[in-house]
Structures are given as C-alpha cells and as structure tokens.
Amino acid sequence: MTHPPTTPDRAHLALKALTEFWADMGLEEARAFTIPRQPAQRAPTTSRSSAPVRQTERPPGSLSTGPAGQIAGQLGSPQLGGPRPAPRRINNNPIADARRLASAANTLAELRAAIEGFNGCELKKAAKTTVVCDGAFGADIMIVGEAPGGEEDAQGLPFVGRAGQLLDKMLATVGLSRKENVYITNLIYWRPPGNRDPSPAEMQICAPFLTRQIELKKPKLLLTAGKFATQAMLGTEDGIMRLRGRKLLYRQEGIPAPIKCVPLLHPAYLLRRPEDKAKAWDDLRTIATLCDDLGIKRSPAL
C-alpha cells in the first residue's frame, strides 16, 4: 500500500517546483540558493540515548537568507502565510517609457532634458554625451540626420564634424544657417559604436522623442539628410538617389497638415564622393525656391 508523501516531502516538492519556475523566468532568486537534498530515510529508533532534534535548527546546506530563502522557509513551516514579497519587474518597455516622457514634455527645453535623462537605449552606456539638437528653436526649417559621430559625441551637438562643417557651407549658399533659421536633430541621440548604422530597435526606441520634437517645433519645411533618415521619416525603401531633391510630404498623427519634406544627400557621402556635389547644389536651389514659396526668411546667399 502506497502512503501519501509526508509534509516535509510536499514542502520539498513545492520548493523544487518554485525553483524551476524561477529558473524558467530568468529571475536571480533561482540562483540565490540550492535545493537541500532530502535526508536518507532511516528506520525509527526507540533508543532513549538519541537527543531530540530542535525544530529551530537547520541541517547543513539549508536555504540561504534573502527573499528566496524566506519564501522557502514559509513553505516548510507548518504555519503558512505572512506578508508576500513585492513583485519584481522582470522586463521594462523602453518604447513605452520614451512615449511617456516625450508626451509629458511641453517645451523643447523640457523634451531635451527628458532625452538626456532617458536610460532606455543601450547606446547611452558607451556614449560620452547625449546629442539632442542644435540651432534656432524658433526656426521654420528642421533638419533630421542619422546619428552622432565621434566629434558630435565629444561636443554634444549634431553635425559639428567635417560633415557638419560641409552642411553649414551648403546651407549658407542659399542664405540658411543654424543660428537663424535652421534647427538640427537626429534619429538617434547617442553614437553607435564604430559609427555603425542604427538598428531598427534603436530607432524605434528614440522615435517618440523625434515625433514630439516635430509636434513642438511645427516646422514649415523638413529636410532629411541621408538614406537612413529619409527612409525612416518617410516610411519608404526607395534609395536616396531616387528621392533626393524631390518635394515630398511628411505626415504624422497629431499634426493636421502634412509638412513639406526634401531629402538631401548626406554631407558625409559628399565628402567621399565630391563629384556628386553638383547634385547637392541642385537640391539646395530647390530648397531655396521652396523657402520663398513658404514665406521662410533667408539671409543673403553667399
């Protein structure tokens, strides 16, 4: 005849099941202790010389202290109950956190502070600075690039390296500058290691901050620099050579009217292929005409 397991046996099985559950969930508590081995079953003895075992003593290899040890101790106790430990948050949602922080910002200054305090993107761990924006906050033109490079990471400003210097010269030829009528930001606010391309996950995490910038800026004209920024902003897979210089429209939920958008060749690309600067000049002339049509004030061109 098979007898039901004794109370210590049930407690041991329950503890084992709980430990396996923790291990499957990836919780640290699963590594905080080891399951004590069941002592070998011994025949009952009637010897009066055997000292009684105190219930407060634990055999060698018993549970460690801490949350896991406390829960396991309750399982083996004849009196179950008592306060339960607070539930642990296993995984966070950085996109949801970014949306919450972005929506709470009512000014560009508040949004910049929110981005600088955001820790949901792994790129921040290796970056020196958080590169959010540069230029005139009240500008009617907004330029969106890809991600900071080495110089940008060092100075904390977008487009300040060789590519940024070329961008400034290009804008000046049509009477535009970041000091007066241009606001500059990026898809990503931390430098990817080795200047690699941003991953889709990294762009998704940072996207709520960019859309909030556009909501607060309300630019009349949007310029996208390079393939990645253009494809991400316009939701297209077309190459930059097909899209550059075209008068397109950017649409975003919460913005009633679409925004005029012109894709540009990235200045870093032009440094590698200076023979394509003629194409960039054609695109700048398109931008100058569009600025005049939209009533965007330009300084005298160089």
pLDDT tens by residue, 224-250:
999 999 999 999 999 999 999 999 999
Using 50, 70 and 90 to split pLDDT, how confident is the model at 109? very high
CB 223 within 8 A of CB 261: yes
Q: 30-34, 48-52, 281-285: which has the highest mean pLDDT?
A: 281-285
3-state secondary structure (DSSP) of residue 103: helix
Q: What is the pLDDT of residue 3?
A: 53
Please list the residue range(s) of the chain that carry CATH number 3.40.470.10.
Answer: 94-294
Bridge partners, residue 183, by sequence: 135, 142
pLDDT digits (tens, 9 = 90+) for 136-152: 999 999 999 999 999 99
Q: What is the pLDDT of residue 75?
A: 33
Q: What is the DSSP letter of 226?
A: S
Bridge partners, residue 261, by sequence: 222, 248
pLDDT digits (tens, 9 = 90+) for 214-231: 999 999 999 999 999 999
- CA distances (Å), 141 to each of 107, 194, 220, 243, 257, in order? 17, 30, 6, 19, 16
Q: How many Cβ atoms are within 10 Å of 215's Cβ, its own excluded?
A: 16
The C-alpha atoms of residue 35 and residue 61 are separated, in whole angstroms, by 8
β-strand pairing of 248-250 with 259-264? antiparallel
Residue 46 has pLDDT above 60, yes or no: no
Using 50, 70 and 90 to split pLDDT, how confident is the model at 92? confident
The C-alpha atoms of residue 121 and residue 98 are separated, in whole angstroms, by 10
Using 50, 70 and 90 to split pLDDT, how confident is the model at 56? very low
Residue 62 has pLDDT above 80, yes or no: no
Mean pLDDT, to the nearest integer, of 82-110? Answer: 82
3-state secondary structure (DSSP) of residue 185: strand
Protein fold of 94-294: Uracil-DNA Glycosylase, subunit E (3.40.470)
Predicted TM-score (pTM) of this structure: 0.70
Please state the separation of Cα 111 from the chain's center in Å: 15
More confident: 129 or 30: 129
Q: What is the pLDDT of residue 5?
A: 52
The C-alpha atoms of residue 302 and residue 299 are separated, in whole angstroms, by 9
More confident: 155 or 3: 155
3-state secondary structure (DSSP) of residue 274: helix
The C-alpha atoms of residue 228 and residue 139 are separated, in whole angstroms, by 23
| CB half-sphere exposure, 149, CA atoms < 13 A | 10
Mean pLDDT, to the nearest integer, of 123-144? Answer: 97
Residue 163 has pLDDT above 50, yes or no: yes
Residue 65 has pLDDT above 90, yes or no: no
Residue 121 has pLDDT above 70, yes or no: yes
